[in-house]
Amino acid sequence: MNIDFQIGWNAISSYRRLAYTAWHAIAEFIDNSTQSYINNHDALAAAYEAEGKTLDIGIVYNRDNDTFSIADNAMGMDLDDLITALRVGIPPANPHGRSKYGLGMKTAACWIGDKWTVRTTKLGEPVEYSVTVDVRKIEAGNGELEVKPRDAPADKHYTVLEITALNKPWQTRTLGKIRKYLESMYRKDFEDLGLVLRWQSQELGWEGFEGQLLKNRKGEPYYQEFSFDVDGRAVTGWGGILEKGSRTNAGFSMLQNKRVIRGWPDAWRPYAIYGDARNDLINQRLVGEIHLDGFDVSHTKDDILWGNDQESDVETKLKASLGHLISEARQFRKRDIKLDGGPSDGDVDKAVSAFQEELQSDEMIEQIEFEDIPDSEALKMSSQHLAEQVVAREKPSISAKLGRFMINVYLVYDLSPNDPYVVLETASAEDVTIIVNFSHPYVRTQIEGEEGVLNYLRQCIYDAVAEAKARSINRPMEPDTIKLFKDQLLRVPFQILEGEYRAQSGEQDGE
């Protein structure tokens, strides 16, 4: 006896529970657009030349209106293409490209929201088609979709996807991470395809790490390409040594079909090379890209699905191919850790002159003479209210247990510029909430680069931690006490560097 294998309509409801991140869900749509361009390169190249354009993808998320949209000017779809695109699990004509399983657009759209509309017209076809998918109706058993045609110029070509009834709002921190990940994912397309990718109307780009590599005495960067086979599949890429160590930037970006599957800011660190989450020189300095075409990839296209011994074989051969770089990256260089550094006399003189002018400015005098200070109880209530709002909607960017203190730090980008630069809230003597206002005018005009942000965070958090520690002792909170505690905290970065210096010097002595 034979039976038909059937999937119920309510299976579509499971899509909203898939293990997507916002950026990998959005990437499903970008993959379709870029693959459309790749599949129809010649026709689109001629069209773009006539239009004075290039491949353009615009993405907009509106939390207030509860909408998400993505529009491209790739080839577009005719009726047959659209029908195929809406069928679940039907692989595309080219299953070796970025669109692999015939699932991505459907699963990602349902993960983002419960109602979505596709509008599209194909280059050379005088018709635009639109269709709306209502997930709730399909769950209820109504899977019939109405395709609406209308006239369109034959020289137009686009696909627009609009999603409403979103399943959950994306917070400010998520929006920032979406930008970072999309820039990393499509790093090759910016150059190879001339892709213009816009997120929230802002054009994205990728600088890469090749320009940040350490150079030898001849001025040549520590950079090495590699190529080997694993399980009949070609593995290629490059490795290098960062001049300035950064655990955030180090690691390998895994690419397939020139699209990053996993990479910065969450790069792959093969255990055979990087070990178990250490913070040594290798984990701070070895960086690279590895192309893994032909290997299986997860449904959400965020990781490689290794088969048999593939992962260990790749790690072993990668380590052998980059042996010289790995050895060089482990070498201690005095310029990496400067225990006797600091600003030059000239730097100090320039800073003193600039600060002298700042102190004598009308604006500074106005602030010093300002005496309309709110009541201390009012200030406390205001800080408490602000902290409650932030904690209710955000997740801490930094969490750490410091002795008896539990520290949660929130980096907030949508506060008012008039809010304090840092807010301290202590629900109990040991529970410390710190809110850093990244909309403060000082951040927007004075802070640049990683070092600038790091030092600003130190100042804000050290101020708050010193105050929290002073509050916790059973005696009046004196300014000198707070300064003493902060002075001790300001010495911590030097003590860390001193410890690394000794550890690395000890490693060298033992080699």
- Does 193 share its domain with 216? no
- pLDDT, position 98: 76
- Does 164 share its domain with 232? no
- pLDDT, position 500: 62
Buried b (16+ CB within 10 A) or exposed e, 182-197: bbbbbbbbbeebebbb
- pLDDT, position 510: 38
Asked if residue 439 lies in contact with residue 415, where contact means CB atoms within 8 angstroms, the answer is yes
User: For residue 232, what is the domain's CATH number?
Assistant: 3.30.230.10
- Helix 492-510 to helix 479-490 angle (10° resolution) is 20
Identify whether 230 is part of a domain. Answer: yes
- pLDDT, position 356: 76
- pLDDT, position 507: 44
Say how many residues make up the chain: 511
CB atoms within 10 A of CB 482: 17
Identify whether 503 is part of a domain. Answer: no
- Does 188 share its domain with 237? no
- Does 97 share its domain with 112? yes
DSSP letter string over 222-270? -EEEEEEEETTEEEEEEEEEBSS--TTT-EEEEEETTEEEE-TTS-B--
- Does 137 share its domain with 192? yes
- Does 170 share its domain with 233? no
- Does 150 share its domain with 16? yes
**Number of structural domains the chain divides into:** 3
- Does 89 share its domain with 215? no
Residue 442, phi-psi category: left (phi > 0), alpha (psi -120 to 50), beta (remainder):
alpha
Identify whether 80 is part of a domain. Answer: yes
Tokens of 180: 């970072």
Nearest to 269 by CA among 255, 258, 256, 282: 282
Q: What is the mean pLDDT of each run of 10 residues along the chain (511 residues)?
A: 52 71 95 95 96 97 95 96 80 69 78 95 97 88 88 97 94 92 97 96 94 87 96 96 88 96 93 82 92 90 92 96 91 55 73 72 68 68 83 87 84 86 78 87 80 84 82 69 69 70 50 36
Of 175, 203, 231, the one marking the end of a domain is: 203
- pLDDT, position 277: 62
- pLDDT, position 5: 45
- Does 396 share its domain with 309? no
Range of the domain at 460: 377-494
Residue 308, phi-psi category: left (phi > 0), alpha (psi -120 to 50), beta (remainder):
left
Tokens of 316: 């072993």
- Does 37 share its domain with 166? yes
- Does 232 share its domain with 198? no
